[in-house]
Structure 1
């Protein structure tokens, strides 16, 4: 038998994260139409842009976590996987924080921002994303120890006990 370890399979969560990203993309298109349309009906062109900005921010914030986990899972099976995984995921969260602060500073002084519309579209995007995550993860059928490989006993090894 060879002493070369087998290449580990991808983590079992990857297909679920890809599904979440797909559903988030579809929901983003629907939210863009609804958020922009409702914003336009409520406050004209400024409402349209406010609705689009709110939905855009929601989609970016909520897509960054599954994207960062998928990127981090590319290092699965390597020696420093846990360290790299948490570094990438925490880096994604810090990136979200920076984007949020920059967006607030930039949008705060804009004359076209309608606060109620941007807030409503942002909240709608967050709620839709939470529903998508809840549905996707509730349908997940992965055993609790899916990515663990148990050691096997060498049949030719002799027990001296």
Structure 2
């Protein structure tokens, strides 16, 4: 048909799967925090509520920080990406040890609730990020630019 041009669909950016992973992970973390806080409160009262909130915060931030640092460093040189990921991992370990060490001597929270929700947040947020990456369409083959031949 004269005058009709075909416009190919836009190619998603290379960071689209990572952005999708972070988005799915945040949504899963919010849902988990709300549901686990309600259930833990009904089972163990206020200590259960605090345990669930602390567990979802520590576990969710632990996983989401990795995805966010990969997203942030996606366009950096490979050695810089490695340094960012290693530094982020060390920082996360240090923060987790300090937070759990501080909480060790306190009794305002339920330890079983914290442990169960921490484990659940690690699994659920990681699973949600995986679903986010798998649902995102992204090219995995780069075509070389044409030189007009």
TM over 0.5: yes
| Interval of TM-score (by shorter of Structure 1 and Structure 2) | 0.7 to 0.9
Give the structure 2 partner of residue 94 of structure 1: 90
CA distance in 1, matches of 2:63, 2:89: 10
Match of 2:106 among 73, 87, 110: 110
What pairs up with 1:1-161 in 2 under 5 angstroms? 12=14, 14-75=15-76, 81-146=77-142, 150=144
Q: Distance in 1 between matches of 2:129 and 2:26?
A: 13
**Per-residue deviation at 1:151?**
7.9
Query: Relative contact order, CA 8 A, sep 6+: which one is greater?
Result: 2
Q: How far is the alpha carbon of 1:143 from its aligned partner?
A: 4.8
- In the aligned structure 1, how far is the partner of 2:86 from the partner of 2:102? 24
Secondary structure of the residue aligned to 2:73 is: helix
1:119-141 deviation per Cα after TM superposition (whole angstroms, max 9, x unaligned):
11111111211221332233354
Given the two structures, how large is their TM-score scaled by the length of structure 1? 0.75
CA distance in 2, matches of 1:16, 1:41: 37
Count of matched residue pairs: 138
Q: Structure 2: any 5+ residue segments left out of the alignment?
A: 1-11
RMSD of the TM alignment (CA)? 2.2
The answer (yes or no) to whether the contact 1:35–1:121 under 8 Å persists in 2 is: yes
Distance 2:145 2:17 in 1: 27
Counterpart in 1 of 2:3? none
In structure 1, runs of 5+ residues without a counterpart are: 1-9, 76-80, 156-161
Mapped partners of 2:13, 2:102: distance in 1? 39
Q: State the TM-score, normalizing by the size of structure 2.
A: 0.81
